[in-house]
């Protein structure tokens, strides 16, 4: 069964001085989140960017995949804290998403550090957002098991 989600943007003006508003069409959980070119390439200034939204998508997707993988291995997590840092840089003449670096700290009863890192690598390689980025974006993961 396929799932489709929607977001909407209204953009005003040119790229450099213009701005936009992005809204979650499917869930309605955010409306009129401001976005701008300067928020992408300079300081956020209270605005979001497609890269920040991509980081949120990647972190949440990875957390779900890691949770599922750990549960399948018989060590369901008590808690996972995940961050994703998406890097947007100029490559030649084109601005490009070049990397997404995941960082996870987990409370996983019964798991050892090596198995946790192995599960994190598997989730990084196989979560749906990673698979969408694979081959275009450098993906990495750092995993720390809390004792």
Average pLDDT, the chain: 96
Where do the structural domains in the chain lie, given as residue ranges? 7-41, 50-145
Question: Which pLDDT band, with edges at 50, 70 and 90, does 98 fall under?
Answer: very high
Stretch 21-43: mean pLDDT: 95
3-state secondary structure the chain: CCCCCCEEEEEECCCCCCEEEEEECCCCCCCCEEECHHHHHCCCCCCECHHHHHHHHHHHHHHHHHHHHHHHCCCCCCEEEEEEEEEEEEECCEEEEEEEEEEEEEECCCCCHHHHHHHHHHHHHHCHHHHHHCCCCEEEEEEEECC
Is residue 27's pLDDT more than 90? yes
Is residue 44's pLDDT more than 90? yes
Q: What pLDDT sits at residue 66?
A: 98
Is residue 147's pLDDT more than 80? no
pTM for this predicted structure: 0.94
Q: What pLDDT sits at residue 117?
A: 97
CATH class of 50-145: alpha beta
């Amino acid at each position: 069964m396929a799932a489709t989600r929607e977001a909407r943007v209204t953009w005003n003006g040119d790229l450099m001085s213009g701005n936009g508003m992005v809204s979650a069409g499917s869930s309605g959980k955010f409306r009129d989140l401001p976005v701008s070119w300067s928020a992408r390439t300079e300081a956020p200034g209270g605005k979001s960017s497609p890269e920040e939204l991509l980081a949120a998508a990647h972190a949440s997707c990875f957390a779900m995949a890691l949770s599922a993988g750990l549960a399948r291995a018989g060590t369901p997590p008590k808690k996972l804290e995940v961050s994703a840092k998406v890097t947007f840089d100029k490559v030649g003449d084109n601005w490009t998403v070049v990397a997404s670096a995941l960082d996870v700290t987990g409370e996983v009863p019964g798991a050892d550090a090596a198995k946790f890192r192995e599960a994190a690598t598997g989730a990084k390689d196989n979560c749906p957002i990673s698979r969408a980025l694979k081959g275009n974006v450098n993906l990495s993961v750092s995993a720390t098991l809390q004792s």
